[in-house]
Chains A and B, each alone.
Chain A
Amino acid sequence: AQSVTQLGSHVSVSEGALVLLRCNYSSSVPPYLFWYVQYPNQGLQLLLKYTSAATLVKGINGFEAEFKKSETSFHLTKPSAHMSDAAEYFCAVSGLNAGGTSYGKLTFGQGTILTVHP
């Protein structure tokens, strides 16, 4: 079974500062990893995904994430925060089972609420 841990339920940064949202996963097989963003009273939007093609993944809105197998991490970063980045962010893992199939069942982290101060 796979699991996801997001360190820090709330992160606060100043506008223009670096954004770092942490995600650690556990999976018995190579995982697929995703970051989603959720604005209030809306569904989730895909920011980026890791599918083993490259360890540094670039997403929308200037976000990127680096897959580090040795640390079982997939942290999300953005060099310069904007007020519009304030939202809740979810890391999710989709693992292959022992039979080599995956049914797309995503396991989500608890979420990190990002606040951006002027």
Chain B
Amino acid sequence: DGGITQSPKYLFRKEGQNVTLSCEQNLNHDAMYWYRQDPGQGLRLIYYSQIVNDFQKGDIAEGYSVSREKKESFPLTVTSAQKNPTAFYLCASSIRTGRNGVGNQPQHFGDGTRLSIL
């Protein structure tokens, strides 16, 4: 079955450490997204990518970095500069959006990674 796989499910970060969250999809989607979810705040967009080797900052990109070297993979690194990294992180993908109303394509989500501070 096609879908999005996020790993690990739970992750712990030590002070001053960078950690990387994995996101892989086999839906053949061009667009991929990373969201952060905190209780009572909905989902906030960290980074998104519409095509391989290209990505844009979302609303809360500070302290995070991404790469998009392959269509099916969009890893997120939470750097030591992110002072409050404890959250639930969700990866999503969709058909590439753009002109002619393609923005109506829904996003498909993985099951998330819960990051905590040691």
A: residues with CB less than 8 A from B are 9, 32, 34, 36, 41-46, 49, 51, 90, 94-96, 100-106, 108-111
| From A41, A44, A49, A100, residue with most partner B Cβ within 10 Å | A44
| B111–A96 CB distance below 8 A | no
Closest 8 pairs between A and B when the two form their complex, measured CB to CB: A102-B103, A104-B97, A43-B109, A51-B104, A108-B42, A32-B104, A44-B109, A108-B43
B interface bracket (residues with beta carbon within 8 Å of A)? 20 to 34
Within the complex, the shortest CB–CB distance from B31 to chain A, in Å, comes to: 6
Residues of B within 8 A of A (CB): 4, 6, 31, 33, 40-45, 48, 50, 58, 90, 92, 94, 96-99, 101-112, 114
Q: Decide: A42 and B111 in contact? CB cutoff 8 A.
A: yes
Q: Does A102 contact B97, Cβ atoms closer than 8 Å?
A: yes
Question: In whole angstroms, what is the CA distance A51 to B42 when docked?
Answer: 22
User: What does DSSP make chain B's interface, helix, strand, loop or mixed?
Assistant: mixed
Q: Which residues of B contact A49 (CB under 8 A)?
A: 104, 106
Residues of B within 8 A of A46 (CB): 106-108
Q: Report the minimal beta-carbon distance from B76 to chain A, rounded to whole angstroms.
A: 15
- A111: B residues at CB distance < 8 A: 40, 42
Q: For residue A110, which residue of chain B has the nearest CB?
A: B42
From A33, which residue of chain B is reached at the shortest CB distance? B104
Instruction: Enumerate 5 A-B pairs (CB-CB under 8 Å) in ascending A order.
Output: A9-B40, A43-B110, A90-B43, A95-B103, A106-B107
How far is it, in angstroms, between the C-alpha of A94 and the C-alpha of B105 when the chains are bound? 9
- Chain B residues lying within 8 Å of A34, measured Cβ to Cβ, are 106
Q: In the bound complex, do residue B103 and residue A103 qualify as a contact, i.e. CB atoms below 8 Å apart? A: yes
Residue from A95, A96, A104, A111 having most chain B Cβ neighbours under 10 A: A104
Q: Is the CB of A104 within 8 A of B94?
A: yes
Q: Does A102 lie within 8 Å of B112, measured CB to CB?
A: no
Contact between B40 and A110 (Cβ–Cβ < 8 Å)? Answer: yes
* Contact A45-B103, Cβ < 8 Å, known A103-B98, A104-B94: no
CB distance from A60 to the nearest CB of B (A): 12
Q: How far is the CB of A3 from chain B (nearest CB, A)?
A: 11
> How distant is B40 from chain A, measured CB to nearest CB, in Å?
6
Known A32-B104, A104-B105: A109·B99 in contact at CB below 8 Å: no
